[in-house]
Amino acid sequence: MAKSKSITNQNCDISQAELDRYESLDREWREYGIAAPARRALVDAKLYKVSDLRKISLEELEQLHGLGKSAIARHFLWNSGL
């Protein structure tokens, strides 16, 4: 298992320590099914849970690298109960 993790990490520029840090902070975003790049963008913006989204505007949210319209739409669909 550790060997496959190191192979996966060789394919990206993120160290295992960084991946562990993101994993400890992005739990709520993973529950929503948000893709890893979007989760990292949210964590980098210090947005760790849905209630943190009140801190920024929709325009600012759309400007986060890795956070596209699909991730934003998924969040709104989840919250509307669809």
Number of domains present in the structure of the chain: 1
- Judge whether 66 lies within some domain: yes
Residue 42 sits in which domain range? 15-80
User: What whole-number distance in Å separates Cα of residue 37 and Cα of residue 40?
Assistant: 5
- Judge whether 64 lies within some domain: yes
- Judge whether 4 lies within some domain: no
- Judge whether 3 lies within some domain: no
- Judge whether 61 lies within some domain: yes
Residue 21 has pLDDT above 50, yes or no: yes
Work out the average pLDDT over 49-64: 86
Residue 43 has pLDDT above 90, yes or no: yes
- Judge whether 6 lies within some domain: no
Angle 16-25/2-10 helices, nearest 10 degrees? 100
- Judge whether 37 lies within some domain: yes
